Amino acid sequence: MFDEHAVLDRFGGLTPAQQPDFKAIKGDSSDNVPGVPGVGEKTAIKLLSEFGTLEGVYDNLDDVTPPRAKKAFSENRDLVFESRFLTTINREAPVILDMDQCRFWDYDRSDVVNLMRDLEFLNVIPRVPEGRPTGSNTKDVLGNTESDKVMSGDYRLVNTEESLKAMVEALWESGRFSFDTETTDLNAMKARLVGLSFSTTPGSAWYVPVGHREGEQVPMEHVISELRPLLEDPKVLKTGHNLNYDVMVLANHDVDVQGIYFDTMMAAHLLGRKGIGLKNLAVDVLNQEMTPISSLIGSGKQAITFDRVSIEEAIPYACADADFTLRLQGIFEESLREQGFWDLFQRVEMPLVDVLVTMKLSVRTLRPFRLVTRKPWRVVFRWVNLSHPRCLRKNRY
């Protein structure tokens, strides 16, 4: 909030009325106002504090210091007055102000969200606050009435051996599922596993916490041992969003995921979607708004890692990732087949997931070494696989 006192504090004692003169001297690149060449903010504040206005500066030009500023003002008189004309708001415009129409909260959020969707400003949608209710029907964040909503979600916590066994049996019985991982880092090579989510039918999902700092959880080693046969079975089809990441995270725990069937991020890209993040696709394709990760972990320097999020908060967030991925898979698969992209997707795009993960895993066995020849100034740096027999020879590398 900038009132008169705030302006005085921000601009070294200059009043709002002096702002056109200040910007005329300093210039404003955002509005293409040139200003006085070589004269910056501090000098502009000093001169206006001393002489009051632009006219006052020119009436006392002989007293202007430093000398280079005096010369700049002398040589750019027409330019600086033209700059002030550009920075002065025309207060004679025929504007009728109705304060009641300006009340910020008196709007229907669904109208704003739909406009953002039409303009493809999908990243803005999570930042649109709730307005006042304007109708009798209860609407969700995208304007859908209760009867129009996609199923709300049957999301279950798996934190006992009994519930883990029941979930694994359901996954085996289904023969296909979507899954997602929650971790501590965006870099899959550094990420520590915090939880896994699974879905076999739209609207339902399980969340298996394994790395939260607090709360009842099945030990990670036991969870991995129970899930490994399922994840490594090529006959059980797996769907995910950005599977390259999730498969890499599981590879860190010696799980070789097989049966990779569908990646909704790859499909979205192939279908020409501009926003291919899961949250954007949920809004754009499913008319459903998902919880942004920032609402759980914060943002910027104050952000925490996911392992510090409570399990209760993590359940709906993590389950929605697997659930909405499965919902998108059904829609995208139909579109790929209809548009003739299915063979390209299955034969070219999807096999790249294994290729990328294999490439990343190979880096673990690569280390830098220095080969020094008999001439000490000739030094060659290379990457080499330390498991190669040549690297085991003494006195060579």
Classify 4-87 by CATH class: mainly alpha
The span from the CA of 158 to the CA of 169, in Å, is: 13
The span from the CA of 119 to the CA of 97, in Å, is: 28
The pLDDT, as a whole number, for residue 303 is 93
The residues, any chain, with a CB within 8 Å of residue 303's CB and separated by 6 or more, are 294, 297
DSSP 155: E
CATH 3.30.420.10 intervals, the chain: 154-362
CATH 1.10.150.20 intervals, the chain: 4-87
Average pLDDT over residues 66-92: 91
Cα–Cα separations (whole angstroms), residue 329 to 32, 165, 178: 48, 26, 9
Average pLDDT over residues 213-234: 96
The span from the CA of 306 to the CA of 295, in Å, is: 11
The pLDDT, as a whole number, for residue 340 is 95
pTM, 2 dp: 0.64
Structure confidence by residue, pLDDT tens digits, 323-355: 999 999 999 999 999 999 999 999 999 999 989
The pLDDT, as a whole number, for residue 300 is 86
For 288, the 3-state DSSP assignment is coil
Helix (H) or strand (E) holding 240: strand 237-240
What is the chain's alpha carbon radius of gyration, rounded to the nearest angstrom?
Answer: 31
More confident of the two residues 356 and 383? 356
pLDDT over 90 (residue 140): no
Which single residue is written with the structure tokens 């969707």?
117
How many residues are present in the chain?
397
For residue 53, give both structure tokens.
């206005």
CATH topology of domain 154-362: Nucleotidyltransferase; domain 5 (3.30.420)
For 148, the 3-state DSSP assignment is helix
pLDDT over 50 (residue 396): no
pLDDT over 90 (residue 45): yes
The pLDDT, as a whole number, for residue 229 is 97
Buried b (16+ CB within 10 A) or exposed e, 337-353: eeeebbeebeeebbeeb
